[in-house]
Chain A
């Protein structure tokens, strides 16, 4: 059995195989890679690297996509979908 590591995906703890790549993680989550942005430890990834970048213990992954919005509603800034630098 492959070793298991702990990572954080969109703020939630998750375990995955120690040899998994970012691409593997997205497939496991059934996330289509078109039109998503992935931030790994606060650095935005080039989608070409998804299948080459292995995950490491404690990595923090953010997966984002487009949702309805235009004029922001006040709640949007506080919702669970929002990530903040500060």
Chain B
């Protein structure tokens, strides 16, 4: 029994390492930008501790600095993070349901990055594995934010810059092996990325909606075009 838990925790930690590597430079930058915009260390800490959503935290600090009303900042956050609804829905089915009380614990840790790691394992995930992936990512995010605030640019600039490629490299490394196995994955990913690029360039709709609309549209078009047989994207 104990051995089982250790194994799940260890493999969760290993799978979350690329996320932690990718989060650290961004979290440091969040701490630094918080300080630069006269946000207290305590609030910077609470942002990362309670919100745990990188893009909206940066947005919030920028809007606070521009004295945008709180209501509008919260509304923008709501729109930006609506996409997690799709991600949690996609995961709800593959995480072995723990006791009901523990579900919020898992749900809290769903980010673009944890989702990308979890959803592409193509197997049912144990509660402990999932929680370890999320918690590892979470700790690197919270600790990184505080470290950035307190220590400033601890990493030499060239290292800090080059680490910004890390999360993209992780997304690529998760996606490419699936693309190798399935033409449908190639179709969905390129379609979704293409729609996203188009929306970014065309400014057709308010920017906050671009990501969720791209994902939804691509999956819907996939429903209409791709063949129905079972396991098409999960060979």
Partners in one complex: no
B residues in contact (CB < 8 Å) with A? none
